[in-house]
Structures are given as structure tokens and as C-alpha cells.
């Protein structure tokens, strides 16, 4: 059970990295658009995708670090 939690967290971190790269690509692609309305909509959509993916990535990483530290503390307490 505990391995599936780690695999799920790693998978979700990789998914958020994928969307981060997708958002950056969308952000760069917005500058090639000629229509000002399309540029503004694509620009803000790309920023929104980047913001959400970075937030989720940081959340998953913090969660994994906290669980790892908690497991280490439990191991150290059991050993003493």
C-alpha cells in the first residue's frame, strides 16, 4: 500500500511537470499570434496553466518530503 502512494505521488509530479512544459510552450507560442485578442487569451491561459502546474508540483513535492521525514523520525525512534 505504501509503495502505491509513493508511485502515485511521483506520477502526479510528472504529470504536473508535463503541464508545466505544455504551459511554457503555449506561452512561447502566444507571441507568434497576429490577432491581439488571441494573443491576450493565449497569454493568460498559458500563465494560468503554468501557475496551476507549479502549485501542484510544489504541493506533491512538499507532501513527499514531509512523509519521508516522518518515516525517518519513526525509524530513529524505533531504533533507540
Domain range for 35: 2-79
Domain count of the fold of the chain:
1
Sequential pLDDT tens for the chain (80 residues): 678 999 999 999 999 999 999 999 999 999 999 999 999 999 999 999 999 999 999 999 999 999 999 988 887 887 76
CA nearest 19: which of 59, 40, 49, 47?
49
How would DSSP label each residue in 25-58?
Answer: HHHHHHTT--SHHHHHHHHHHHHHHHHHHHHHHH
Amino acid at each position: 500500500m505504501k509503495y502505491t502512494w509513493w508511485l502515485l505521488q511521483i506520477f502526479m509530479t510528472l504529470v504536473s511537470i508535463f503541464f508545466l512544459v505544455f504551459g511554457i510552450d503555449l506561452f512561447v507560442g502566444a507571441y507568434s499570434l497576429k490577432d491581439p485578442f488571441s494573443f491576450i487569451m493565449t497569454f493568460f491561459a498559458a500563465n494560468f496553466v503554468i501557475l496551476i502546474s507549479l502549485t501542484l508540483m510544489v504541493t506533491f513535492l512538499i507532501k513527499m518530503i514531509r512523509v519521508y521525514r516522518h518515516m525517518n523520525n519513526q525509524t530513529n525512534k524505533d531504533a533507540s
